Amino acid sequence: MARFAMAAANPGATPGSSFIDEILRANAEFAEGETARGLPGPAGYRGAIVLCMDARIDPIQVLGLPPGTAHIIRNAGGRMAEALRSIAISQQMMGTREVAVVHHTECGMTTFTSDSLRLRLREELGADASTIDFLAFNDLAESVREDVRIYRASAIVRQDIPVRGFIYDIRTGRLHEVTS
């Protein structure tokens, strides 16, 4: 790894409560274990999944994803507009042939509007975010349908494959398909 001109992370060197330092300690344990070895090569890519960054959702567990099968694209809300670049790469370079978009109950994206966040950013950071759409929403099923429509309107992604939308119920752990 020397050619990357970087320092090996030394999780023991920085005691304290830093979250990233805790991650580094956890990663050092992971790297010592069996799971870190024998990772699959780039084969068997089947689908791309777009979902929210929410800290309570572990998509690999929730969706039972075998390693090496799905590209997982996550952003605030699980919004398609910000996922098209990644999906185009997933399809053209890695050959995925299905897309799922998943929004979820109790999502933070329903608790604010672009305008309220812009105001907050001006107050907190003095930032002008007037040109940024923060992609908040308040109707979960409609936001899923909108994201399927955004996919279907894009020229850079395949239109000859299944694209399906879901709501994940964070209380029951269950996916519900959104019909158009």
Cβ at position 12, least distance to a copy of itself in Å: 13
b/e code 12-33 from CB counts within 10 Å (16+ = b): eeeeeeeeebeebeeeeeeeee
- Contacts with a copy of itself, 36-55, as mask; x by CB under 8 A: xx-xxxx--xxxxx---xxx
Cβ at position 149, least distance to a copy of itself in Å: 16
* 150 lines the binding site for a copy of itself (CB under 8 A): no
Closest by CA to 144, choosing from 168, 160, 124, is 168
* 35 lines the binding site for a copy of itself (CB under 8 A): yes
Q: How far apart are CA 28 and CA 152, in angstroms?
A: 43
* 16 lines the binding site for a copy of itself (CB under 8 A): no
Contact set for a copy of itself, span 77-116 (CB under 8 A): 82-83, 85-86, 88-90, 92-94, 97-98, 100, 106, 108-109, 111-112
* Token pair of 176 as six digits: 């519900």
